[in-house]
Chain A
């Protein structure tokens, strides 16, 4: 396959521009907050038991929140410098942990949970949708559609509570929290991996069920016109075999869902916030809720920034992927 270099360069530049925009907003927001957030954070840290912090840290906070007297552009470059060194400040509620350390611990769990559940859901959803669409207006189609609409409309946190209650609290079949059991050693060993899968099962099930409906309905709605398209009719006219025709229809119908796929991985990074806290799953979502509860501004801001980046990367991945999958898009970039 020809690599669409121009297209990729165009998309990378676009990504870079939006990315700079996002981190600039992140820079500007606390500077627009009324009052003295640095003072608030400082006294919270003191209250949270950080009695050892010196007033030097207050100065540092003021710099971070744009309260220093330095000109704005100097502050901006300081902020960028901090950012690219991974310095996102110090968490209040987990004082004295730096925000970056917390994110580094939490993010892998979130990514693991999100990517694996969305992938599974994407796979199942597309196949169900294809099945429903090719058996249009039958009882099976109707059943699948109703189920999908119901699931797509179901509030995620309610489902999370139901699943947690049934399978963990009453059923006792699954753990009620954590990412792995206390008795296993972290590392690439079988008991650890099994424990991780076991702990991820319920939160993953929730995400799969919640996101499934969208894929199903999307696929069904794409494959129906695809099956009636001129090129499918023509393939039939040429005596193509059933499997060939189905694959042509499927290939054309899955393109729009592909866009959704990478994007929803990005979006779900924010979407899992409530689920993770319900399942006490130690991803960014759980930390986000804790941070909000304890007004941990640095941590909230750090997670916010990370979610934005995740969504951006998701979008970027979509663009690139789409460029490879759909020759028509590729050419537009030329």
Chain B
């Protein structure tokens, strides 16, 4: 039996600009296993949201999916009929967006937003109040939120509500794009703990996007580090933690911060983050990499396997590690 929940093949995504098209996600390949929490990390602007939206086929203009396949349950999401895609959303495959706090309709009570969701998928709302109560309990919200408008809830409660809506119909795969940004650290960790419990209990496959390294390493089974729209290293959590093969991951880990400190703040790397140099032939990390040599600017590194299912994109591995 096929053990992958999602297969991303040769995905290319970018943005239309006034003059041309700038490619952000380049020839992206990844396979997500059933029942795992797959963490994706990268600095702000590295293309995480673009990737997440592309997987969910919800990229909006000026964004555009240029090519690629996303195989889910033997079907290519990119080629599905609009209505078939609509039907699997929230029922088999869910997406919790980055600005989850603002994702609720401001002029409708939470109860009716849940009802709308049920109606959208042909389910009678009145008979499913129990189901709604159950998911609210899962995210540890009091049922009274149903009679509130979104603005009457705190940011954390709103995010919990969004999570509850996203899992109401028992999806198999959930993408979470920084679901806890904007929350204070304690609330953030509570929500993540709950998410992990739910994930384990129901065997949901989660693709979890963050730029908080501490959270990433705490919650994920496997991890991909992306830089300028490309995977620079990926593998099982422990391998990534103990045997970093790419300087980027290595430097980040060396600086691994207190809980809740975001990647952008701790990275002591010189240069600008992820400035997509489209025609640069070499390694995207070249300008900021303390281990770079001339050769790095000439040839774009391929993704190579280091050990079982642990990949890296660096020309100078393992030599660079001898210098540290």
Query: At the interface, yes or no: A97 with Cβ under 8 Å from chain B?
Result: no
A-contact bits for B113-127, CB 8 A (1 contact / 0 none):
000110111000000
Give complex CA distance A233, B120 in Å: 15
Q: When the two chains form their complex, are residues B166 and A236 in contact, meaning their CB atoms are under 8 A apart?
A: no
Q: When the two chains form their complex, are residues A237 and B151 in contact, meaning their CB atoms are under 8 A apart?
A: no
Q: When the two chains form their complex, are residues B58 and A331 in contact, meaning their CB atoms are under 8 A apart?
A: no
A234 in contact with B107 given A239-B90, A244-B116 (CB within 8 Å): no
Tell me which of A230, A255, A331 has the highest count of chain B C-beta atoms within 10 A of its own C-beta: A230
Q: When the two chains form their complex, are residues B56 and A327 in contact, meaning their CB atoms are under 8 A apart?
A: no
Tell me which of A230, A235, A238, A325 has the highest count of chain B C-beta atoms within 10 A of its own C-beta: A238
Q: Which of A229, A239, A248, A251 contacts B91 (CB 8 A)?
A: A239
Query: At the interface, yes or no: B95 with Cβ under 8 Å from chain A?
Result: yes
A residues less than 8 Å from B58 (CB atoms)? 233, 236-237
B residues less than 8 Å from A325 (CB atoms)? 107
Q: When the two chains form their complex, are residues A230 and B102 in contact, meaning their CB atoms are under 8 A apart?
A: yes
Residues of chain A in range 219-260 having any CB-CB distance to chain B below 8 Å: 228-231, 233-241, 244, 248, 251-252, 255
Q: How large is the interface on B (under 10, 10 to 19, 20 to 34, 35 or more residues)?
A: 20 to 34
Q: How many A-B residue pairs have CB under 8 A?
A: 77
CB-nearest residue of chain A to B106? A328
Q: When the two chains form their complex, are residues A233 and B86 in contact, meaning their CB atoms are under 8 A apart?
A: no
Q: When the two chains form their complex, are residues A237 and B107 in contact, meaning their CB atoms are under 8 A apart?
A: no
A-contact bits for B88-107, CB 8 A (1 contact / 0 none):
11110011010110111111
CB-nearest residue of chain B to A248? B105
Give complex CA distance A238, B175 in Å: 12
Query: At the interface, yes or no: A326 with Cβ under 8 Å from chain B?
Result: yes
Q: When the two chains form their complex, are residues A233 and B97 in contact, meaning their CB atoms are under 8 A apart?
A: yes
Query: At the interface, yes or no: B79 with Cβ under 8 Å from chain A?
Result: no
Residues of chain A in range 261-317 having any CB-CB distance to chain B below 8 Å: none
Query: At the interface, yes or no: B87 with Cβ under 8 Å from chain A?
Result: yes
Give complex CA distance A328, B58 in Å: 29
A244 in contact with B120 given A233-B60, A239-B86 (CB within 8 Å): yes
Q: When the two chains form their complex, are residues A251 and B90 in contact, meaning their CB atoms are under 8 A apart?
A: no
Residues of B within 8 A of A (CB): 56, 58, 60, 86-91, 94-95, 97, 99-100, 102-108, 116-117, 119-121, 149, 151-152, 162, 165-166
Residue pairs across A and B with Cβ atoms less than 8 A apart, 8 shown, are A230-B103, A233-B58, A234-B97, A237-B89, A239-B90, A251-B105, A326-B107, A327-B107
